[in-house]
Amino acid sequence: MEAGHGTVVSLKYVLKDDEGEVLDEADTPIDYLHGYGNIIPGLEKALEGAEPGHRDSVEVESVDAYGEPDPAAVLSLPLDSIPEGMEVEPGMNVVGETAQGPIGMTVREVNDDNIVVDANHPLAGRRLHFDVEVVDVRAASEKELEEGCALQ
């Protein structure tokens, strides 16, 4: 079976940056529902039509990965917006509450009266390099199609 809309693809991957540094990897296969936006668009497009045993090196430009950084997603917040007793320092990942729900952010600066956080994805603006292996492709169940994701 080929990877296509409504199939569950099981894959292993190694993700690297332009310098060859390993950013992430999945030695144990992960499953995703193809055609439902469960993985970055550039990788999903590259896997269209792939069959079990397919191996490839895929370069994904930032626009087809996590997009370009949005300057409006860098926010300066008053220090009193941090929960009492919580120590924050640059580089930390924190979760903030918004009207649309929780959002992950990275602390960029901590000043005397404010904290600067970045809500952009940490890989925004970066070209990504994947070494992928398609382990299996199967038809999705009705429940998976309803849920819009692969289920265990």
Query: Whose CA is closest to 97, among 86, 105, 87?
Result: 105
Q: What is the pLDDT of residues 84-109, one digit of tens each?
A: 888 889 999 988 888 888 989 999 99
Per-residue pLDDT at 99: 85
Q: How far is CA 38 from CA 19, 80, 148, in A?
A: 26, 36, 8
pLDDT tens sequence across 46-93: 999 999 999 999 999 999 999 999 999 999 999 888 888 888 899 999
Outline where the chain has alpha helix (H).
41-47, 142-147
What is the pTM assigned to this prediction? 0.83
Examine the domain organization and report whether 55 and 129 are in the same domain: yes
Q: Would 112 be classed as within a structural domain?
A: yes
| Helix-strand-coil split of the chain, %, nearest 5 | 15, 45, 40
Q: Any idea what the CATH number is for the domain that residue 106 is in? A: 2.40.10.330
User: Which CATH number fits the domain that encloses residue 36?
Assistant: 3.10.50.40
* Domain co-membership, 106 together with 134: no
Whether 142 and 113 map to the same domain: the answer is no
User: How many domains, the chain?
Assistant: 2
Q: Are strands 74-78 and 55-60 parallel, antiparallel or unpaired?
A: unpaired
State the residue range of the domain holding 37.
Answer: 7-66+124-147
